[in-house]
């Protein structure tokens, strides 16, 4: 476990966001009941979503009832479309389909694919394994209902950021174990892939970098509950006994992020297991940087490249 010891100064847009949150007096998640934090976040201004051919709210079958999802269609497809199943971040506790509306619209355009954003159940009301159960059910639902949704079941990628990255990685482990259809690609943006506090980047970025160690530990405990080591692989994917035969991956990490080291380690673990993996590191950025700025645009463009690369050979096969 080694930390990156040299890095550039924090990006200006990242510093501006941190300063703005301080100026607004935005409270730390762990200081309020989850419902209050959700209500505050719902009132925060968001980027405008891209104009697309269609945006549709629907549901997929889930283990505890219908799972709300939102479909983003960048254009009219002449045949069954490729798809990205997206799992949002928010520490398994906050955020909604609306929070990621603009981001999902950008991914749909970049990847030239339908994006299906999943409104999985949130902790602490629904602790582990509720969120991953919903994520897997949503994936299986897209496969089962591909014709109705206009989706090519061979060309379904999965992705997510932070806690959503955890769910995306865990979904790939779950579908591998099930032996059925697997995603063709996993996009893991600064994912949680190990138990909290296990890496040097936690100490290095404990405070002053947007996501604090106290907040991350609080989120983990809201979701993981009383679960203790050894961690199940669909909770801490880095600790899976094998990472072979998993989907190709794009892993994105940020230099000023608690989760940097475990994300980098996961990319290396996938590579060592023979999984085609691209690791993109943004040394000057913070956790959550995908919501704004030039680095966000660069990462979305890179995601589009990887999505098209994964989808194209399956189209002509």
Q: pLDDT tens for residues 30-85?
A: 999 999 999 998 988 888 999 999 999 999 999 999 999 999 999 999 999 999 99
Pairing mode, strands 54-60 and 67-73: antiparallel
5 found inside a domain:
no
CA-nearest of 168, 57, 49, 181 to 116 is: 57
User: So what's the pLDDT on residue 79?
Assistant: 93
The larger pLDDT score, comparing residue 206 to residue 316, is at: 206
User: So what's the pLDDT on residue 316?
Assistant: 54
Q: 121-145: per-residue pLDDT in tens?
A: 999 999 999 999 999 999 999 999 9
User: So what's the pLDDT on residue 270?
Assistant: 98
Computed over every residue of the chain, the mean pLDDT equals 95
CB count within 10 Å of CB 1 equals 9
243 is catalytic: no
Mean pLDDT of 187-193: 98
Mean pLDDT of 276-298: 96
169 found inside a domain:
yes
Say whether pLDDT at 315 is over 80.
Answer: no
Say whether pLDDT at 3 is over 50.
Answer: no
Cα torsion angle, 31, 262, 140, 128, sign? negative
21 found inside a domain:
yes
264 found inside a domain:
yes
Q: Of the residues 117, 287, 295, 303, which is catalytic?
A: 287
Total domains, the chain: 1
CB count within 10 Å of CB 283 equals 16
DSSP state letter for 156? E
116 found inside a domain:
yes
282 found inside a domain:
yes
117 found inside a domain:
yes
Q: Of the residues 105, 162, 201, 303, which is catalytic?
A: 162
pTM of structure: 0.96
Mean pLDDT of 279-306: 97
- Where are the strands (E) in the chain, listed by range? 54-60, 67-73, 81-87, 114-118, 151-161, 185-189, 248-256, 277-286
Interhelix angle for 101-111 vs 293-316, to 10°?
Answer: 50
Residue 167 confidence class, pLDDT cut points 50, 70, 90: very high
101 found inside a domain:
yes
pLDDT cut 90: percent of the chain above it: 88
Structural domain range at position 53: 12-316
Q: 229-274: per-residue pLDDT in tens?
A: 889 999 999 999 999 999 999 999 999 999 999 999 999 999 999 9
Which CATH number do you get for residue 278? Answer: 3.40.50.1820
Say whether pLDDT at 4 is over 60.
Answer: no
User: So what's the pLDDT on residue 195?
Assistant: 93
Q: Which of helix, strand or coil describes residue 281?
A: strand
Q: Of the residues 257, 261, 295, 303, which is catalytic?
A: 257
119 is catalytic: no
287 is catalytic: yes
Say whether pLDDT at 226 is over 90.
Answer: no
């Amino acid at each position: 476990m080694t930390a990156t010891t040299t890095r550039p100064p924090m990006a200006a847009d990242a510093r501006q966001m941190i300063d703005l949150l301080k100026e607004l007096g935005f409270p730390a998640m762990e200081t309020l009941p989850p419902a209050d934090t959700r209500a505050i976040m719902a009132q925060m201004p968001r980027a405008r979503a891209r104009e697309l051919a269609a945006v549709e709210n629907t549901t997929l079958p889930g283990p505890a009832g219908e799972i709300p999802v939102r479909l983003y269609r960048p254009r009219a497809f002449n045949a069954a479309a490729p798809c990205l199943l997206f799992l949002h971040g928010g520490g398994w506790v906050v955020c909604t389909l609306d929070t990621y509306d603009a981001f999902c619209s950008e991914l749909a355009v970049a990847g030239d694919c339908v994006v299906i954003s999943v409104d999985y159940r949130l902790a602490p009301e629904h602790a582990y394994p509720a969120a991953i159960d919903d994520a897997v059910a949503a994936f299986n639902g897209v496969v089962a209902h591909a014709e109705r949704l206009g989706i090519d079941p061979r060309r379904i990628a999965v992705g997510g950021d932070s806690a959503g990255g955890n769910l995306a990685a865990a979904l790939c482990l779950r579908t591998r174990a099930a032996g059925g259809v697997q995603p063709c690609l996993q996009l893991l943006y600064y994912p949680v892939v190990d138990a909290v506090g296990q890496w040097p980047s936690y100490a290095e970025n404990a405070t002053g970098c947007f996501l604090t160690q106290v907040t991350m530990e609080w989120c983990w405990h809201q979701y993981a509950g009383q679960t203790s080591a050894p961690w199940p692989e669909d909770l801490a994917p880095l600790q899976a006994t094998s990472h072979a035969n998993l989907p190709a991956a794009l892993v994105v990490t940020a230099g000023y992020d608690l989760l940097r080291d475990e994300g980098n380690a996961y990319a290396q673990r996938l590579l060592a297991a023979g999984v085609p993996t691209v690791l993109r590191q943004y040394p000057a950025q913070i956790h959550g940087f995908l919501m704004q700025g030039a680095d966000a645009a660069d990462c979305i463009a890179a995601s589009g490249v990887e999505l098209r690369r994964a989808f194209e050979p399956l189209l002509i096969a």
